[in-house]
C-alpha cells in the first residue's frame, strides 16, 4: 500500500525540473532590471511604449529573435492590456522571456 508521503515525494520528484537560466538573466538583479527599464524609457514617463520595449528586446545581448518574434514578445509583455509596459510588467516579463528563449 502506498502512503501519502510516498505519493507526495513521487510528485515532487516528477515536478522538480531544473530551471534553465538565460546567461543575461544570471547578471540581472532588481537594480539591473531597473537600470535597463530606465535606459529604454526614452521619454521618461515611467513606462515603456511598444517601440521602446521592442528596442530593448532587439538590443538585448545574446537574444537572436526575428522582428516578428520581437513584436510577439512585446505584445505579450503588456499584461493588463493598457498599451504600455510599466515597471511591474517589465519585471515580470523580461526575465521570464529571457529564460524561455
CA distances from 13 to 7, 82, 100 (A): 10, 40, 22
- According to DSSP, the residues that pair with 86 across neighbouring strands are 47
Domains of the chain: 21-100 (1.10.238.10)
Note the pLDDT of residue 31.
86
DSSP string, 55-71: HHHHHSTT----HHHHH
Cell matching residue 26: 544570471
pLDDT tens-digit profile of 19-78?
Answer: 444 455 555 678 888 898 999 999 999 999 999 999 998 998 777 888 998 888 888 888
Please give the Cα distance from 51 to 56 (Å, whole number): 9
pTM for the structure as a whole: 0.67
Amino acid at each position: 500500500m502506498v502512503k501519502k508521503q510516498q505519493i507526495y515525494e513521487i510528485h515532487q520528484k516528477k515536478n522538480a525540473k531544473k530551471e534553465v537560466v538565460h546567461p543575461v538573466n544570471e547578471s540581472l538583479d532588481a537594480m539591473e532590471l531597473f537600470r535597463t527599464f530606465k535606459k529604454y524609457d526614452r521619454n521618461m514617463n515611467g513606462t515603456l511604449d511598444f517601440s521602446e520595449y521592442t528596442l530593448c528586446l532587439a538590443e538585448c545581448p545574446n537574444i537572436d529573435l526575428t522582428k516578428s518574434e520581437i513584436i510577439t514578445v512585446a505584445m505579450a509583455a503588456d499584461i493588463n492590456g493598457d498599451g504600455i509596459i510599466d515597471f511591474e510588467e517589465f519585471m515580470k516579463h523580461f526575465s521570464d522571456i529571457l529564460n524561455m528563449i
